[in-house]
Amino acid sequence: MSNTQNSSKDSSQTMESNPRSPMGAMGRQGRNSLNASSNGQKLRLSKQNRVSWPLTVLTAVLSLTVLVPLYFAFVSSLKTNATIGGLELPQIWNWDNYAKAWDLVNYPRAVWNTLIITVCATILTLLSNTFVAYAVARNIDKPFFRFMYYFFVAAMFVPFTVIMLPLAQEIGWLHLDNQLGLIILYVVLGLGTNLFIGIGFIRSIPESLEEAARIDGASTWRVFWRIIFPLMGPINATIAVMTVLWVWNDFMLPLIILTDQSNATLQLSQYVFSSQFTMNYPVAFASYLMAMAPVLIVYIFAQRWVVSGVMRGAVK
C-alpha cells in the first residue's frame, strides 16, 4: 500500500513542477483519480484501508510463478551435474561454477561491450531523438513536418526481420559490424517509438513558455536545450528506461551485426556459450544468472522508478 501511494505522490509531484501537466488526456485523468482516491481513503479510513488478506495470499502464490524459476536457476547454478534438478538448496555451495562461467564466456569483456553500447545508445538517443520530436511536434501543422512524422513513425510498423538481411549487408560494407554500428542502429531504430512517446508530451508544454525567450532573441536550438529539454525530464526518464532495457536485452541485432567474437554482447555470448557447452548445466545456470544480474541488481534498487517510467510511456 505505502509503496503505491508514494509512487503516485512522486509522479504527481514531478508533474506539478511543470506548469501544466504535460501528459495526454489519459495521464491527466489518471492523476486526478489517484488524488481523488487517496483523498477518499483519508476520508473513509476504516473502509478503504482494510487489506484483503485472501487476495494478498492469492497474489503471493501467483508471484511464485515469477520467483520460482529464478530461484530454481539460482540453486541450480550452485550444484553439480549430479545433484542438479530439484528445488532444494545445494548441500555444498559450488561457487566455483561462477568462476568457470566467468572465464568461459569472457564475462568482463561481454559486460563491458554491453555496457558501452547501452550507455552510448541511451545517451545519444536522449540527445538526438528529443529534438527531432520537438521540431516535429511544434510544426505538425506544416505539410513537411507532418510528412516527417509519418516518415519516422511508419517505420515502427516495419518488423526488424524485414530489413534484417539487406541491413546486415549494408553494415558490412560500411565496416560498422562492431559496437559503433550497434550504437548507431539502436539510436536510429528507436526513433519511431521515441517520437511517438515524445511528441504527445511536447505538445502539452505550452508554447508561451518559449515566447519570452524568443523575444529575448534566443535561437530555436537554444530554446530547445534551455527550456524544452529540461521540461522533458519525466518523458526522458521513460525513454531512457525503455532504451536501456531494450538495448541491454536485445539479441537479434548483435546476432546479425557483430562479426568479431570479441565484440559479443552479454546475450550474444550466452548464445555462443549455450551452443558450445550444453552439458555442464550448473555452469550454464551460473552464466545465465551472471547475464541477468546487472539488470536485476539495478532493478532492485530502482524498481519504483523503472515501473513508473515504463507506465508513463504506456499512458503517454
Residue 99 Cβ vs another protein, minimum distance, rounded to whole Å: 20
Residue 42 Cβ vs another protein, minimum distance, rounded to whole Å: 12
| 261 touching another protein, by CB under 8 A | no
160-179 binders of another protein (CB under 8 A): 160-170
316 CB burial (10 A radius; 0-12, 13-18, 19+): middle
Sign of CA pseudo-dihedral 252, 258, 260, 263: negative
Q: Which is nearer to another protein, 102 or 299 (CB)?
A: 299
17-36 binders of another protein (CB under 8 A): 24-26, 29-30, 32-34, 36
Q: Which is nearer to another protein, 99 or 252 (CB)?
A: 252
Q: How far, in Å, CA of 209 to CA of 223, rounded?
A: 9
| 107 touching another protein, by CB under 8 A | no
The one segment of 93-101, 116-124, 226-234, 291-299 that binds another protein by CB under 8 A: 291-299
How many degrees, rounded to 5, is the angle at CA 248 between CA 22 and CA 270?
160
| 259 touching another protein, by CB under 8 A | no
| 72 touching another protein, by CB under 8 A | yes
Q: Which of 213, 211, 231 is nearest to 222 (CA)?
A: 213
295-314 binders of another protein (CB under 8 A): 295-296, 299, 303-304, 306-307, 310-311, 314
What is the pattern of x (binds another protein, CB under 8 A) and - over residues 197-236?
--xx--x---------------xxx--x------------
Q: Could you count the other beta carbons within 10 Å of the beta carbon of residue 43?
A: 8
109-128 binders of another protein (CB under 8 A): 128
Residue 105 Cβ vs another protein, minimum distance, rounded to whole Å: 12
Alpha helices in the chain (DSSP H): 2-16, 25-43, 45-48, 53-77, 96-104, 107-138, 143-154, 160-173, 179-189, 191-203, 208-215, 220-223, 229-231, 233-249, 252-257, 266-276, 281-315
Residue 157 grid cell = 510498423
Q: Which is nearer to another protein, 116 or 167 (CB)?
A: 167
